[in-house]
Structure 1
C-alpha cells in the first residue's frame, strides 16, 4: 500500500464513494419527481460533491498516467527514490485541495429557483447557474469544466501514453536479451499501465455525452427550441454514464489486475476461498532494512595437547558462533505487488 499507484487508487476510490453517496441519490431523484424536493443547502452540497468527485477522478487519473510514465521511461530513478511514497501522498492531498477549490463555485452559486411549466404549474430545480450572473457565466462555466475536467486531462494522458508506447517499442528493439528479472519488472509495469489505460478509456466514454450536451445546450443559439425527447434521452444517458463511471472502476480493476482480484477474493469472498497461508512473491509487501543475527553456543570437547593420544577427557570448552546477515539496506517494492 505504500506504492504510488496504490495511494492514487485509494484517493480515486474515496472520490468515487463521495459521488455515489452524496450526488447520485439527490440528482437521480430529479428525474422521478416533478419538483426538486430538497432545500438549497442540499442542492449546494450535492453540486459541490459532484464537481469535487469529478475533479478527484480526472486529476487522479492524470497523476496515475504520469506515475506510470516515470516508472516505465525512468524506472531506476523512480524505483530508487526514497521519497516516492511521500510524493504520491502529497500529490493526492494536492489533488483534493485543487478539486475542492474548483468545486467552490458550485457550493456558492447553486440554488433552487422556482419555474413554471407550460401548464402553469410551479416547480423547483437545482442548478449551479444563478440567474443574476446571466448567460455569459453559464457559457464560461460549461466551457471551463469541459476544458479542465475533460479535454486538457485527456490530452495530457494521451501524451504520456504516446511517450510510453514509443519507449516500450524502442526498448523492445534494442534490448532483446533482457535478463529474466528485468523482463518481469517490465511486464509488471506494463500491466499497471494497462490498468490505468482502462480507467482512462472508461472515463473518456462515460463523460463524453454529458460534456457534449452541456456545450450544445449553452452555446447552440436555438438549443431551447430544438430540445426534444431525443436530446432529453441523451441528457439522461449522459448523467447515468457519469455516475456509472464511479461504480465501474472497481469492476475494471478486478478484471485487469490479478493482484487486486486475488486479495478481493480473499477478503471479500473469504467464505468461498480457502488459502493455505503460503505467501507468494506477487503479493509481497515492501521490506525495509532488516539485520538477522544468529547466535549459537555449543560445548565441544577439545583434545588436550601433550596427553596420551588424547585419552584423557578434557573439560568441555564453550564455542560461541555468531552470524550476522544484512538482508537489504533499502526499502524495496516488488513491481508485481502493485495492483
Structure 2
C-alpha cells in the first residue's frame, strides 16, 4: 500500500481529522447558542486549524493531480527514480508547512470582541478580522483566500486533467492490439485518476456555497442589511458542506477504489468480515464453490526413448517409467492481488 498517491491520502486524512476534532465542535456550537462561549485562545486555535486543514486539503488534491499527470504522461521517469518516495514525503511535509504559514493570520488576528444587539444585550463572536486593521483587510483577506484556496487550485487541477485526458486519448489510438500489459497499465492509471477526480469534484461542490456566501457578504452591496433567513440558511448549508468534505472522502474512496474497499472490509469492517468468513467455513460438500479434495491415485505409463546410440535413438527403449501420485483438485476462486494498483 506504500505509494505516492497513498502517501498523499494519509496526509489528506490527517488534515480532515484535525478539522473534525478541533474545528467542527467549536464552530458548530455557534449555531446553537446566542453568544460565543469560548475564550480567545480557543477562537484562535479553531480558526487556525480550519485554515490549516483547508490548505492541506486543497494543496494535497493539487499534488495528487500533478502526480497522476506525471504518472500517466511520463510513467518511466516518474516511477523508476530512487528518490520518488523521498520527494513525495518532502512534498507532503512542505504542504503542511506552507498551509501552516498561510493559516498564521488566523492564529494571530482572531479574537472575541464584544457585540451588542439593538436592545443593548451583549454577545460575543469569533472573528479573524480585528478592527485595528481597518475595513479593507477583511475584503483583501477574503479575496486572497478565495483565489489561493479555491480558484487557483481548481484551475491547475482542471489543466492537469485536460492534459491527462488528451494524452490518454492519443496513447489509446497508438496502442497495438496485442499490448495487453500496456493496456492494463493504462486502465490502472485511469482508475487512480478517476479516484482523484472524484475527490476534486467533491471538494469543488462542498466549498462552493460557503465561498459564494463569503464573497457576497464582503463584496455585496448592503449585504448586512439584506441578510435574511434565506441567506442564513444558505450560510448554514455552506458550513455543513465544508465540514462534510472532511468526512466524505473515505466514503468516496470506498466506492471508487476496489483495493481500498478490500482493506476497509478487512480492517475497518472486520466484525462483518469475520461473520462472512465464519459462514464460508460451514461449507456444503455438495456446493460447487466448496473445496473438493480428491485422493484417488493416478498411474501413468511413460515410455522412455533412448537418446544417442548406434541407431541415433530411433528405437523405443525397453524401459517404462510408472508414475503414481495423489492429486488435489481445488476449485478455482477469484484472486485479488493485494499489491495491485488502486
Q: What is the TM-score when the length of structure 2 is the normalising length?
A: 0.80
What's the CA shift for 1:337?
2.9
What's the CA shift for 1:179?
1.6
Q: Report Cα offsets for 1:84-137 as digits up to 9, x if no partner.
A: 111110000000000000000000000000101122211000001111111100
Residue 74 of structure 1 aligns with which residue? 74
Q: Please, what is the CA RMSD of the aligned residues?
A: 1.5
d(CA) in 1 for partners of 2:109, 2:126: 11
Q: Where does structure 2 lack aligned partners over 5 or more consecutive residues?
A: 279-336
d(CA) in 1 for partners of 2:201, 2:339: 23
| Corresponding residue SS for 1:38 | coil
Does 1:337 find its partner at 2:305?
Answer: no
Map residues 1-339 of structure 1 onto 2, 5 A cutoff.
1-177=1-177, 179-274=179-274, 337-339=340-342
Residue 321 of structure 2 aligns with which residue? none
What's the CA shift for 1:223?
0.6
d(CA) in 1 for partners of 2:159, 2:54: 21
d(CA) in 2 for partners of 1:338, 1:147: 34
Q: What is the TM-score when the length of structure 1 is the normalising length?
A: 0.81
Contact 2:175 2:183 in 1 (8 A): no
Moved more, 160-169 or 211-220: 211-220
What's the CA shift for 1:80?
1.0
d(CA) in 2 for partners of 1:84, 1:237: 41
d(CA) in 1 for partners of 2:34, 2:19: 23
d(CA) in 1 for partners of 2:57, 2:159: 18
Contact 1:24 1:243 in 2 (8 A): yes
Q: Report Cα offsets for 1:301-321 as digits up to 9, x if no partner.
A: xxxxxxxxxxxxxxxxxxxxx
Q: Report Cα offsets for 1:14-40 as digits up to 9, x if no partner.
A: 000000000000000000000000000
| Corresponding residue SS for 1:271 | helix
How many residues end up aligned between the 2 structures? 282
Alpha carbons of 1:9 and 1:178: their partners in 2 closer, same or farther (altered >3 Å)? Answer: farther
Contact 1:71 1:78 in 2 (8 A): yes
Q: Report Cα offsets for 1:152-195 as digits up to 9, x if no partner.
A: 00000000000000000111112142522211111111100000
d(CA) in 2 for partners of 1:156, 1:70: 14
Q: Report Cα offsets for 1:258-282 as digits up to 9, x if no partner.
A: 0000001001122222569xxxxxx
| Corresponding residue SS for 1:115 | strand
Q: Report Cα offsets for 1:228-274 as digits up to 9, x if no partner.
A: 11111111111000000000000000010000000010011222225
| Corresponding residue SS for 1:127 | coil
What's the CA shift for 1:196?
0.2
Contact 1:253 1:260 in 2 (8 A): yes
d(CA) in 1 for partners of 2:338, 2:138: 46
What's the CA shift for 1:336?
6.4
What's the CA shift for 1:335?
11
| Corresponding residue SS for 1:120 | coil
Q: Where does structure 1 lack aligned partners over 5 or more consecutive residues?
A: 277-333
Moved more, 55-64 or 209-218: 209-218
| Corresponding residue SS for 2:232 | helix
